[in-house]
Structure 1
Amino acid sequence: MRLFSVSTLLLFFSSSGLALQIQCYQCEEMTHDCSTPDFIVNCTVNVQDMCQTEVLVKDDGTHYRKSCASSGACLIASSGYQQFCTGKLNSVCITCCNTPLCNGPRQKKPKSCAAAVTLGALWLHASVLLSSVLC
């Protein structure tokens, strides 16, 4: 059995099209949303597969932290801070997403569309469960 170095494997994945790299906005403790081209970074290939956003409400206003993150670390952090995400003073909200530049400015969606997507996802999930039981 032959051992490959990390750089060899990364080169293989990159040349085979299997490398996963996204771009995210990145900033530290900004008092305005840093979703501008100046703050776009390339995340580490096959390691940082999510974008993370932290919104902190402090005495002097709302502060933003945005960065690349690994899915495990981001999901653990976001679930650990759910109880502190109140929108009030000293609130901390952490969100994760996995598409390019998804931690940028919020897109407003019509509520009926969001409800339809949620119902569609539930229907798909129920269909998959049902087919796995029947087959």
Structure 2
Amino acid sequence: MKKNEVPQDKSNLESANFKELCYAVDENGEYTTVNSSGWTPKTIALNQAIEDINERVAAAKNRVLNNDVSPIEYYMEYHKMDLGILSSYVGMWQWRVKRHFKPNVFKRLSTKTLKKYADAFDVSIEKLKNIELHEN
């Protein structure tokens, strides 16, 4: 793509005063970098991904409020983590973290273990235990 053909469509990046760095060919036929404010197809894909994430967070919140899962699942979804990432942050095996998704197991966790999760999610133990205290 030529330097003057780099898309400058409206996007989420534009509202935050961010620009995406793209490579393009200049007038001498050499590669150079150009800032782009966005590209419509990419913006549509990003918006869809954000919408999907928000739906997953809302579903996790409902499961916690229905006492189907522990708040760990909600915070994991809220922070866009998966089981592997979360287990590496808290230094536990994935099967152990998944076990902590069970409300009856979560209620029996030690303060030390709860602190690991609270630190990973950057919340207090009190907010970890009660998602209604968490501001979305």
The normalised TM-score by structure 2 is 0.29
* Structure with bigger gyration radius: 2
Structure 1 or 2: more helix by fraction: 2
